[in-house]
Amino acid sequence: MMGTSGSARVAPIGGAIVVVFALVAGVCSVHAAELWDFIKVGKNVVKGPTWESRSGKAVVEVKKGQINIRVSYSDDLKSDAPDKLGRESIKISGKLGSDNSIQAICVFLDTDANPVKLTGRYMTREELEIWGDKRKIVTEKEIVFSHPPNFEFFGFLRQDARDE
């Protein structure tokens, strides 16, 4: 009797270990350095109080609770390599909390601007989509930072699709 109940306990634990390894493998692949779309929205006070946007690409890397983002604006991207960054203009680094909140420092490269603290959020969602006769699971990732005192917003977006 003891041997039967002992082996019954091992099976759920063994299954749990397999699930944990699968989750760790999935998290590691999701958090590798990836090229994301970037948009900055802010007020332009030179021409009067108007909203202005600027876009580009960013490399986002999440490792062990640390997040690092390097940004190039569209006009600085390498035209011969559209999947690579050009001259980096912004560098953001910080900590990713267990609730997906981000506390970071933003540095504007090649300027005399002081680094600023940013608070943001990392969000993901999955949707089932049908592309012709194929069923795809689309994962949308989003990072949003507001720039104090909330006159600028930085947004990072990425979309991945895989077969169902």
Q: How many CB atoms lie within 10 A of CB 30?
A: 13
How many residues are present in the chain? Answer: 164
Residue 3, pLDDT above cutoff 80: no
Query: Where along the chain do its domains lie?
Result: 1-30, 34-163
Which tens digits make up the pLDDT trace of 113-125? 899 999 999 999 9
Which tens digits make up the pLDDT trace of 59-84? 999 999 999 999 998 876 655 555 56
pTM of the complete model beyond 0.75: no
Give 76's DSSP letter: G
Task: Measure the CA–CA gap between 99 and 57, rounded to whole angstroms.
Answer: 26
State the pLDDT confidence band at 150, using cuts at 50, 70 and 90.
low
State the pLDDT confidence band at 27, using cuts at 50, 70 and 90.
very low
Residue type, 83: D
Contact, 137 vs 126, CB < 8 A?
yes
Which tens digits make up the pLDDT trace of 125-141? 999 988 889 898 999 99
Q: Specify the residue for token string 């104090």.
A: 148
| CATH code for the part of the protein at 34-163 | 2.40.160
Contact, 67 vs 95, CB < 8 A?
yes
Q: How many CA atoms lie within 13 A of 50 on its CB side?
A: 5
Looking at residue 77, its pLDDT comes to 61
Q: How many CB atoms lie within 10 A of CB 92?
A: 24
